[in-house]
Amino acid sequence: MSEKIAAENDTDVELKELLNGQTGKLSWQELQRHFARGSVIIVAAELDMIQVGIKIIEDDKQQVEAWLNSGQMTRATDDHARNWQAKEPHPEFWSTVVAPWVLIQEFREQ
């Protein structure tokens, strides 16, 4: 393995550990302030939110654009907020911070 590939793999591992450490559950009430700032990004359930965060940090425009174009990643809208507010009980989300964004996936118990 070349030194460049090894360095990239080490960086990905470090980023994954960093993002995993910043990942946790947020209630809708806790998420509201981030939504009000316009910083909430919804990540589709079929995607690994940590990998999405890594691609954002690495500025992988091609991959991020592909997810945006496919709808697998989208900015939270007022319609999303109204739906979350209307749900009883209010939903919880897995979240991780990739400043200035808060990436979320709605939490569903298995």
| Among 24, 7, 5, CA closest to 15 | 7
Higher pLDDT, 83 or 12: 83
Report how far residue 7's alpha carbon sits from residue 52's, in angstroms, rounded to the nearest whole number: 20
What is the band of 94 on the pLDDT scale with cuts at 50, 70, 90?
A: very high
Question: CA 22 from chain center: how many Å?
Answer: 11
pLDDT tens digits along 59-93: 999 999 999 999 999 999 999 999 999 998 889 99
pTM, rounded to two decimals:
0.85
The phi and psi torsions of 77 (rounded to 5 degrees) equal -110, 175
Give the pLDDT mean for 13-24: 85
